[in-house]
Chains A and B, each alone.
Chain A
Amino acid sequence: MFCRNQTSRATVARGSALEMEIRRGRCRRSIFLDTLQDSDIQKKIDHEIRMRDGACKLLAACSQRDQALEASKSLLTCNTRIMAYMSELQRMKEAQVMQRVARRSSDAGPMDDRHPCKAKVAISDLRIPLMWKDTEYFKNKGELHRCAVFCLLQLGGQSFDTDMVMVDRTLTDICFENTIVFEEVSPGFELRVELYSSSWEDGGSAGSTPRKLASKLSSSLGRSAGKRMRAAMEPGGNSPTSHGGGTTLLLPVPSVPGPKYHLLAHTTLTLTHVQDSFRTHDLSITANEECSFWLPLYGSVCCRLAAQPHCMTQQMMSGQLRVKLGGDPQGWTDIYGVLKGTKLFCYHKQDDKEASVDPAVTIGINKETRIRAAEKDPHSKAQSICISNQYGGEEVTHTLSTDSREDTQRWMEAFWQQFYDMSQWKQCCDDLMKIDLPSPRKPALISPKQGSLYHEMVIDTSDDISTVTDILTRRMHDSDLRSRLEQATPTPVWLSLFEEDCSPPTTPIPSHYQKPPVPRPCSSPRSPARASPRCGGRLSSLASLTSESDSPCSTSPCSRHGWTPEPPAAPPSFRPRTLSLDAKLSSLRVRGYSAGLQCACQTPAAVTSGSPHRAPALAGLSCSSTSSTSSSSSEGSGGPDSDLPFSRPGAAGRSARNLRSKLDPRNWLQSQV
């Protein structure tokens, strides 16, 4: 049975008596499905209750604050889920009763009202800006008042929580990195977003009395008082008794020891808020400044709410068709049509679709399309369907025809359903919105931040220019010159960084500034071969992006060296990796010139006539490390492209040269991402 829009969990065997009865309209499927759905929900409720009990026990047993917070969060989520399932159960029971009443009063025929298709709704990149008072914000001293926050998202019967985030006054926004996907959502959905917070210092006060003490108290306080206290402190003491199968008694949430979350703000999002980009929505704040869990919210939440209706992602209808363009009487073509999203794809053969061959014809089916059944063609048995589209002012009509009347009817029905879905899902059907599924990644480290907003900036491995350089040089295509030079004697590891088109050294350049320093071969003076003529030209100021703090190569005051212009053979596209003067000056480490950088780069004789002289100049290389710990705030990832301040003959036009000279990182900091 072609029954697309019904959520049915039970399948009725084909050809069975039951199916025949259903077909005859004598009884509706729903009678049989209800009980199955009921037990489904019941199972879910039981599952959640077990989870809740587990969370309670965990909470009581927790000693670490953050564990307790996590357990409390799961407890809250379980409770919400249970409530949601309970209300759904209630609704279903009511609906059943209504249906039975309706059926008795009027003979309801088979489903004739249309249901819109369901969709997958995803919410991601939640961000809630905070509005600290400037006095709070810049305070360096004093205790950091922290709160643990998380978001609870509810849609229909589904509830999800985001990861917990610790918020203190150094944060300007609360960001939740999770992407949450809800399945099988109808267009009239209401997505409730709730922000819960719990103060870090709070929630341990009366609650987390260890059991032993509790029992001691109970014995010392006198029997009845003690019993009462004990019951209060014992988790799960009030857990609801679940009667087998029937309604579950849901007593008030057991009072558990441990941190409690309180609702800080909430908002509801609907279809009108769905868009393929980030939008800001208002938040209703339900707490006031007196509460311990208070956070100064700006009052809005930004997120990306996307929806993918099934009519856009799934194939709604397919079958053999004959199509012709316009009124051409002869042009009938046999094709295999597939209706999906806003298009009707017509493939030559059914296999083409599997083989991902491009369709022969693609007919757009969108809000502007007009479809009508043509007048009965005296020659053929079935009616044909005319599809008209406006393509840039011109009307283009395709005519479809099938072999039998039932097929035509089914196609018309499919088109009507598609139009209905589009009218219900509105802007979601204009274009397919992408939903990025969260990729598995390492859990974020909780860094204990203290101090003001402008605290240390840690430069990460991946930010380091050397690794980025490596990656990009690998992608650059080789040039003749380089290959010739490759045969030369091994070069200092860092030299390759200066050349874009050279392949990176085989030993990975230790990029992280915390790693132990690698003894640089830079003490060897030969290493000329590596130097292409280009190499020479590149070095104005140098960043040894790899240098660690104790690198023997590092540290000389940065100096600029003039270089003679390159020979014209150099390709115009190279760019040196240099850091801006500011960055270098601020991150200087002045050490002895232990080895110095003796890179006498001599060009191989074959290559060019005038060998640019370099060399002793290189000793003045500043290998300033990128490990700017606290100082340089302007230190980028350091992969700036710069150009040489000196002219390069011939290779590039004046304007390009001009631009490149303007892009000198000594004057204007650039970062590679």
Chain B
Amino acid sequence: MSQTFHIPGQPITAYVQRIEIKKLREGSNLILGFSIGGGIDQDPGQNPFSEDKTDKGIYVTRVTPGGPAEDAGLIMGDKIMQVNGWDMTMVTHDQARKKLTKKSEDVVRLLVTRKSLEDAVRKSM
């Protein structure tokens, strides 16, 4: 989101990109190949990727090279807004992790946003 930081209670708007990640099955495990940080129960000041240091959203902190997330186009520093329809802007860290690692789902469809996306859209307008 932009320089004017989010006011709690107000709706969040963002330009998002759809990323669909097919989980990789290794034995009985399904992995996505990235790591997340953040959550409403975490300290947002520690997030190196967020512009707004009060943003408690879920961010991608690392993308395993060659993993399914990288193939799908996920980039380190992306903020995850939705996972398969579930909101990620106001969840705890563990809730976010659980929504990503549901064993019954082979595919996760994410909506992610990043600064470069916003800027690109702004420029093209």
Contact = CB atoms under 8 A, between A and B. Distances in A.
Contacts of B103: 441, 460, 462
Contacts of A444: 104
A475 B37 contact: no
Interface stretch (B5-13, B58-66, B115-123): B58-66
A640 B93 CA distance: 12
A573 B106 CA distance: 28
Contact of B85 (A304, A461, A467, A639): A304
Contacts of A302: 85
Contacts of B2: none
B75 to A, nearest CB: 13
Contact of A673 (B32, B41, B46, B47): B32
Contacts of A472: 31, 33, 64, 67
A673 B106 contact: no
A281 B74 CA distance: 29
Contacts of A462: 28-30, 101, 103
Residue among B28, B41, B101 with most chain A CB within 10 A: B101
A561 interface: no
Contacts of B47: 668
A662 B29 CA distance: 30
Interface in B98-114: 100-101, 103-104, 106-107, 109
B36 interface: yes
A127 B82 CA distance: 14
Contacts of A467: 29
A483 B61 CA distance: 29
Interface string A61-74: 00000000000000
A663 B77 CA distance: 11
A471 B93 CA distance: 23
B15 interface: no
A634 B37 CA distance: 11
B116 to A, nearest CB: 16
Given A640-B35, A673-B100, A461 B26 contact: no
A663 B36 CA distance: 11
Given A302-B85, A436-B106, A575-B62, A637 B46 contact: no
Given A670-B35, A673-B100, A475 B67 contact: yes
Interface in B67-99: 67, 82, 84-85, 92-94, 97
A277 B84 CA distance: 8
Contacts of B82: 278
A641 B35 contact: yes
B94 A635 contact: yes
A673 B101 contact: yes
B41 A637 contact: no
A635 B92 CA distance: 11
Contact of A672 (B35, B66, B106, B107): B35
Given A277-B18, A663-B48, A670 B34 contact: no
B43 interface: yes
Contact of A637 (B18, B42, B92, B101): B101
Interface string A558-594: 0000000000000001010000000000000000000
B38 to A, nearest CB: 8
A139 to B, nearest CB: 21
Contact of A441 (B43, B48, B104): B104
A239 interface: no
Contact of A634 (B18, B42, B84): B42
Nearest to B82: A278
Contacts of A177: 104
A573 B64 CA distance: 10
Interface residues of B, number: 41
Contacts of A668: 37-38, 42-43, 46-47
Interface string A429-471: 0000000100101001000000000000100111100011001
B62 A641 contact: yes
Contacts of B109: 277-278
A669 interface: yes
Contacts of B24: 471
A277 B30 CA distance: 22
Contact of B31 (A439, A461, A468): A468
Residue among B33, B39, B94, B107 with most chain A CB within 10 A: B94
Contacts of B32: 673
Nearest to A467: B29
B27 to A, nearest CB: 8
A670 B36 contact: yes
Contacts of A669: 37, 39, 42, 93
A313 interface: no
A575 B26 CA distance: 21
Contacts of B97: 463, 636-637, 671, 673
A639 B33 CA distance: 11
A634 B101 contact: no
Contacts of A659: 48
Nearest to B41: A634
A125 B82 CA distance: 14
A200 to B, nearest CB: 24
B91 to A, nearest CB: 11
A140 interface: no
A302 B106 CA distance: 19
A248 interface: no
A633 interface: yes
Nearest to A463: B101
A671 B93 contact: yes
A288 interface: no
A601 to B, nearest CB: 25
Contacts of A672: 34-35, 62
A219 interface: no
B85 A125 contact: yes
A545 B29 CA distance: 16
Nearest to B103: A462
A174 to B, nearest CB: 14
28 contacts: A278-B109, A304-B85, A461-B29, A462-B29, A463-B101, A468-B31, A471-B29, A471-B31, A472-B31, A472-B33, A472-B67, A475-B67, A575-B62, A633-B92, A637-B97, A641-B62, A662-B46, A663-B61, A670-B36, A671-B36, A671-B93, A673-B31, A673-B32, A673-B34, A673-B35, A673-B36, A673-B100, A673-B101
The 3 closest A-B pairs by CB, nearest first: A278-B85, A668-B46, A662-B48
Given A671-B35, A671-B37, 18 more contacts: A127-B85, A177-B104, A278-B85, A436-B106, A462-B101, A467-B29, A472-B31, A472-B67, A475-B64, A575-B62, A635-B94, A639-B35, A663-B37, A667-B46, A668-B43, A670-B36, A670-B37, A673-B32
